[in-house]
Homo-oligomer: A and B are copies of this chain.
Amino acid sequence: MANKVVTFGEIMMRLTPPNYLRIVQAESFDVTYGGGEANVAVSLANYGEEAYFVTKVPDNPVGQAAVNHLRRYGVRTDYVVRGGERLGIYFNEIGASQRPSLVVYDRKYSAISGAKPEEFDWERILIGARWFHFTGITPALGDNLAQACLDAVKTAKKLGVTVSCDLNYRKKLWSPEKAREVMTALMEYVDVAIGNEEDAEKVFGIKAASSDVTKGVLNEEGYREVASQLLEKFSLKGVAITLRESFSAFDNGWSGLYYDGKEFYKSRRYEIHIVDRVGGGDAFAGGLIYALVNGYSPQDAVEFAAAASCLKHSIVGDFNHVTLSEVKNLMKGDASGRVQR
């Protein structure tokens, strides 16, 4: 039986120059669609869950294309609101070797960022759901969206729906101060928090001692502190942290950590040669939610999430087009990449 899972946020058009070209060289863009919470919904649909994505898109072919892209990969779009000005866009140059990937956002004035809280009927949306997920990007889109998130999580609590939040701090959307204020209010209703090396520090001032993300140095001990501080501060049931070691735009180390208030569970570490790293964190969140909603043990959950998101780095676009069996196969240890005939 599939579980109803609901995610809420923005889906953008992503325009990517093909073949490692830069924007100034491009004569065409590959077009996909994505966004933190939409990416999570696709992961869950891929694993067989009944995943709903809630957003607002303009009532034109561009908005329809975004909805179609979600439907194509099995996400339910019944609660998508139509109207507003435009679909957010982001341009994404794929980095290579020492040249970093580059994102140029053109997301302002998007339909979802202008949506009113009352456009979302959370009682109807969340009825029967097992899980609700959002990221720190959604409330950062404006006070109206922060309110919509608050409405959502309160309704979720009321209906007994588990709530997860990926902190996902975006400095171009809001200041740390604003983020802290808004997120603190929302965290009260969150059960499981997910973050990476920068989020906890930027949003809540919780810092992993002596890591330097630009040097690819990770301090695992520090992350444990961060996780436990987060969990305590907001009385969470669990905290997951993704640990990315950035060696170059092509080569990253990748693993995950999960803390359930009692023990720390560390996943296997992957050395990844990257095809497309956007959505890596969302693939982790999607994997974690799948595992937790299906009763995996904490260790299995963080392994599933890490394997799923490791595979995402080999997939073009924001969405993680992998099957349950592919994730499980990697989770069990076959990272040899041998041909599957």
Does A247 lie at the interface of the complex (its beta carbon under 8 Å from any beta carbon of B)? yes
Contact B340 A100 (CB under 8 A): yes
**In the complex, which of the residues A24, A72, A100, A337 has the most CB atoms of chain B within 10 Å of its own CB atom?**
A337
Complex alpha-carbon distance, A86 and B91, angstroms:
12
Chain B residue numbers with a CB within 8 Å of A103 are 339-341
Residue of B nearest to A64 (CB): B24
Residue of B nearest to A103 (CB): B341
Complex alpha-carbon distance, A74 and B341, angstroms:
29
In residues 1-34 of chain A, which contact B (Cβ within 8 Å)? Answer: 15, 18-32
Chain B residue numbers with a CB within 8 Å of A22 are 61, 315, 321
Contact A65 B28 (CB under 8 A): no
Contact B338 A100 (CB under 8 A): yes
Chain B residue numbers with a CB within 8 Å of A321 are 22, 24-25
Chain B residue numbers with a CB within 8 Å of A248 are 273, 335-337
Distance of A319 from chain B, by nearest CB (Å): 9
Distance of A272 from chain B, by nearest CB (Å): 5
Q: A108-B109, A337-B249 are in contact. Are A322 and B99 (CB under 8 A)?
A: yes
Chain B residue numbers with a CB within 8 Å of A32 are 27
Contact B101 A340 (CB under 8 A): yes
Contact B24 A334 (CB under 8 A): no
Chain B residue numbers with a CB within 8 Å of A97 are 272-275, 310, 313-314, 337
A100-131 contact mask (Cβ, 8 Å, vs B): 1 or 0: 11111110110000000000000000000000
Does A95 lie at the interface of the complex (its beta carbon under 8 Å from any beta carbon of B)? yes
Complex alpha-carbon distance, A28 and B247, angstroms:
31
Complex alpha-carbon distance, A5 and B261, angstroms:
52
Complex alpha-carbon distance, A215 and B333, angstroms:
9
Chain B residue numbers with a CB within 8 Å of A182 are none
Contact B106 A86 (CB under 8 A): yes
Contact B315 A99 (CB under 8 A): yes
Chain B residue numbers with a CB within 8 Å of A340 are 100-103
Q: List 23 A-B contacts (CB under 8 A).
A: A19-B19, A20-B315, A20-B316, A22-B321, A24-B68, A26-B65, A27-B27, A27-B31, A28-B28, A60-B104, A68-B72, A72-B72, A89-B89, A89-B106, A97-B337, A98-B272, A98-B314, A102-B339, A103-B340, A170-B341, A216-B336, A246-B336, A251-B273
Q: Taking A71-B73, A97-B274, A98-B330 as given, write out 17 further A-B residue pairs in contact, using a Cβ cutoff of 8 Å, ordered by the A residue number.
A: A23-B61, A23-B64, A23-B65, A24-B65, A24-B68, A24-B321, A26-B65, A69-B72, A71-B71, A71-B74, A97-B272, A99-B322, A101-B339, A101-B340, A214-B333, A214-B336, A248-B273
